[in-house]
Structure 1
Amino acid sequence: MQEFYKKALIAVLLLVVAEALLACFLIFLSYPSLSLLPARGDGGRWHYQTYSDRTTGGSSSVRLDNATRERMRFDFKLTDAASYPFVSSELALDDKHGRPAQADWSKYDTITFLAKCAPAGSMTLVISTFDDKISTAGKFETYRSPGSYFSCNEEGVPVSLDMTRLTLPDWWFDQLKLDRSDQGYTLDRVAKIVFGTSAHGRRNVDSYLEISELALHGRDYRHVVALTVLCLIGWLGFGLWFFHGRARALTASLDSKMEKDLPLVAYRQLTLEPYKDKEKASILQFIATNYMDPELDLERVVHATGANRNKVNEVLKAELGMTFTAYLNKLRLMEAARLLAEKNSAAVAEIAYSVGYANVSYFNKLFKEEYSCTPKAFRSLAAPSA
């Protein structure tokens, strides 16, 4: 049994290590992320472009700085020529033929970036998404455009925005004559991401906005569910293996122990036969014929055989290497094991009493120490071979 428990311990350690590694891997996968800078997409189809209020009669200027694609920077100057002065820089997606395309960002819920600007103030982020019901491909004014404000300064402000809680602008509802309560949008068909000025931008001042470390982040709970299922399967498999293996190991251990006890059974029979040493024979014969008596103790053996205490223990030590108590329990437990295997209808308590134990709990304790299982478990294991 000790060998089996060592194997079980090794199996537990290997299972724990395997599940720890699996947990690290699946938990890592449960936090998907996507870096958008340097600008790229499937086949490198992301590209920068700028817009300003000049399309509506304004005179604001904007210039994209493409010195490095690790960041997106544009310099601008707002003027009051237009009713709503604005400038923006966009990261747009095209297909391989140069036509507007969409990206699936549905597994992401957060966008993060580092925002630097001068003068310090607030800017806007807009995510343009295609809506099958109202959008026309290539006409971005018909796309849903949820957005939010963020702050920036020359030192740089780390920004994290929840993409599921952006707000659609009122002008977009007015332009398309839609109900303003229809605030829903999806991120499965994103066409572009826009960084622009807000209505509170300073006029006639040379300004800039620089965006870097632009990335998307999400949480995929399917990997957490998969981890839970795999862990449960792993422990269930280990449990089945453990109980099946333990039963087999215990059966083998009991068979081995019973085989080792066979010489002792034969010796007990031998003690009932004539013995050259009369005193020794008297001691062994008395114990072999009275071991099932619950009143049997060392004093009674001494009284019945006429030998002294030291002589009784000396005989048992010399012949069997046991003390009187150990030999007495050995004989009783061997007989109990035989009765358990052969008499399925007899109760454990009945067998305990029949082999000389008045206390069933004490009998159960000694039996488990001897055979590494309870009497009931022994009976179930010994039944097939009985």
Structure 2
Amino acid sequence: MRIQDATRQSLRFDFRLSDAIPHPWAWAALQFDGTADLSKYSTVSFLAKCAPANALTLNIAVLDGGVAKPAMTFFSCNEKGMPVSLDLTRLSIPDWWYDAEHVDIARRSYALDRVIKLEFGASPYSPHGLDAQVEIGDLTLHGRDDRYLVALAMVLVAGWTAFGIGFFRAQSRALGATVAARLTKDLSFVAYRQLTVERFEDEEKAGILRFIATHYAQAGLDLDAVAAGTGATRSKINDVLKTELGMTFPGYLKKVRLTEAARLLTDLAGATVAEIAYSVGYANGSYFNKLFKEEYGCSPKEFKSLASRLEMPSGH
């Protein structure tokens, strides 16, 4: 790696990736003196030139709990130069970072209020054994003017006051109907799951489904645990779930857990969301809330409130 120019106009650097190490990576960074608050910015744009044409990464290193967390994304460039615009709110945290720092993989969020540096560098798709030249210019951070947001908020509040209650009631009824229909469908899934466990003549197949059906609430349940508990191979387990239910193991396990959680939220008025999450195998309440909202379109707390006000299908 060799930096040619790092003026206010551009960042130019050369690099060459070698196969001498398993995962070669080269990058140049714009590092802040301390940390910078970029939370008011939502996108970054720049002109990217590179020879040969390449797929590069932008990594924004943020301070999280005293360690640097990488928030990354990919972009393309060529010899003529390509205008690039990237959404700073939709970057991803690579899985290797969680293993290296021993951090719960559920912590996918990041904040831009303490940014250490912006790195531009090679990606797993960059060519090896070639001299590569990169130039990043016209780098601009785009944000918002809060004065206009305040004015807009005042207008919206004034307008929404007139019809907010009616809209809320209509939305509540629509959401309730959607959730009730979804729960009815999922309870049919539970009934089918129980039927498959009870009626299979193939004992190995039945054993796999029965084991998952009786151990789904076990935190940390994975393919290896199912294989150890049933004597079946990992590939056999995947084949059974794919053939009989059209699902992968993670997808089926999530479906079983969330369906049972929905039933408990409907039937157990005195149980807290945290207790129900734990009872179906989720020790992390925030992660459970995220998965549940993706599945049913509302939070477990909202679901429970709807279940108490609407005639929801019973799980028994």
TM-score, normalised relative to structure 1: 0.39
**Which is richer in strand?**
2
Query: Of the two, which has the highest radius of gyration?
Result: 1
TM-score by length of 2: 0.47
